[in-house]
């Protein structure tokens, strides 16, 4: 049932961003590049990550709860920085808050189809994203002009969530995920999960130098920035220069603090969350 937005919140307006865990930080950093002064709030649902093998009902429930949490904290624009949560929940979020601008993410098949030279594209994503109705529709929109090989990567998000980005275990997992794409002869690989840009160096090494990698984080951030600038809330950015970006996690606060310090180049304040 549609719910009106709180008309006046006692907290400052902000852009709320969430993911199952750390992956959405790849979207957050792109958003920070676009809007360095915007008040950004990020929630990592690391206590419940990965979402990739969860039911749509579970992801839907978590997404509703997290969105509500971010709204109470003043979010006037919501970025669902997770392909799996977008596939499972963005429609129900839009139904519940029809007045709230909501940006989702989906595997970049369209830019990949434009970029491929040999007509063969690989998609790396979670099982949940690849089996979703949304992905089926996305594939159908591409038609037959391009041959798409979709490769689920169960376990990859768990390893990235541990925070170390160059372990032998991670290399072996990336190699296993990329092998079928190499066999299919793809020349373009879509990163269909927001965690994967953090292991792009390993994917590039496994695929070889002639293979292009498509990450839509910058395009998503540009779209979100346009919506933010068009919204009445953007005025708050003027006096926000230098404020830390606020990160929250339902998981281990110290782990997120470590990751933020090594993966992000801007100042963050990290807290726990009971969302
Ligand atoms: N970053 C999420 C995505 O883009 C990962 C999902 C998961 O937790 O498995 O799909």
Q: What is the mean pLDDT of residues 178-185?
A: 98
Decide if 182 is inside a domain.
yes
Q: 165 and 40, same structural domain?
A: no
Q: 200 and 148, same structural domain?
A: yes
**In the chain, how many domains are there?**
2
Q: 82 and 143, same structural domain?
A: no
Q: 92 and 222, same structural domain?
A: yes
CATH number of the domain that residue 58 is part of: 3.40.50.1860
From the CA of 104, how far away is ligand 1's center (Å)?
Answer: 12
Q: 224 and 206, same structural domain?
A: no
In angstroms, the Cα distances linking 2 to 16, 91, 92, 95, 233 are 19, 12, 10, 6, 22
Active site residue 193: yes
The overall longest dimension of the chain from CA atoms, in Å, is 56
Q: What is the pLDDT of residue 239?
A: 57
**Mean pLDDT score of the chain, rounded to an integer?**
94
Tell whether the model's pLDDT for residue 10 goes beyond 70: no
Binned at pLDDT 50, 70 and 90, residue 240 comes out as: low
Binned at pLDDT 50, 70 and 90, residue 81 comes out as: very high
Which of these, 91, 102, 142, lies nearest to 119 by C-alpha position?
142
Q: What is the mean pLDDT of residues 27-44?
A: 97
Which of these, 57, 63, 198, lies nearest to 124 by C-alpha position?
198
Last residue of a domain, one of 166, 190, 215: 215
What domain range is 94 assigned to? 14-105+218-272
Binned at pLDDT 50, 70 and 90, residue 26 comes out as: very high
Q: Which of 4-8, 54-58, 78-82, 123-127 has the lowest mean pLDDT?
A: 4-8
Last residue of a domain, one of 215, 237, 263: 215
Decide if 1 is inside a domain.
no
Decide if 6 is inside a domain.
no
Q: What is the mean pLDDT of residues 196-201?
A: 98
The pTM assigned to this predicted structure is: 0.95
Last residue of a domain, one of 189, 215, 241: 215
Active site residue 268: no
Percent of the chain beyond pLDDT 70? 95
Binned at pLDDT 50, 70 and 90, residue 232 comes out as: confident
Decide if 239 is inside a domain.
yes
Evaluate whether 123 touches 149 at the Cβ level (below 8 Å). yes
86 lines ligand 1 (CB under 6 A): no
From the CA of 18, how far away is ligand 1's center (Å)?
Answer: 11
């Amino acid at each position: 049932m549609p719910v009106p937005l709180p008309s006046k919140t006692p907290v400052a307006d902000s852009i709320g961003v969430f993911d199952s865990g750390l992956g959405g930080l790849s979207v957050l950093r792109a958003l920070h590049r676009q809007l360095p002064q915007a008040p950004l709030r990020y929630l990592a649902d690391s206590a419940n990550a990965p979402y990739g093998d969860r039911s749509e009902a579970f992801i839907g429930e978590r997404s509703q709860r997290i969105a509500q949490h971010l709204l109470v904290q003043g979010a006037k624009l919501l970025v669902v920085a997770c392909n799996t949560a977008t596939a499972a929940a963005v429609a129900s979020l839009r139904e519940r808050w029809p007045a709230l601008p909501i940006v989702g993410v989906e595997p970049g098949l369209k830019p990949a189809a434009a970029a491929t030279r040999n007509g063969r594209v690989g998609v790396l994503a979670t099982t949940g994203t690849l089996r979703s109705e949304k992905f089926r529709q996305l594939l159908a929109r591409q038609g037959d002009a391009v041959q798409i090989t979709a490769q689920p990567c169960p376990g990859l998000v768990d390893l990235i969530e541990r925070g170390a980005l160059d372990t032998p275990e991670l290399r072996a997992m990336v190699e296993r995920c990329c092998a079928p794409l190499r066999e299919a002869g793809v020349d373009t690989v879509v990163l269909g999960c927001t965690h994967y840009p953090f292991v792009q160096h390993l994917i590039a090494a496994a695929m070889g130098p002639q293979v292009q990698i498509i990450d839509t984080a910058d395009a998503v951030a540009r779209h979100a920035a346009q919506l933010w600038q068009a919204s009445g809330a953007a005025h708050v950015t003027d006096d926000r220069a230098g404020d830390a970006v606020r990160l929250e996690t339902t998981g281990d606060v110290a782990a997120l603090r470590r990751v933020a310090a090594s993966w992000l180049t801007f100042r963050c304040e990290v807290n726990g969350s009971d969302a």
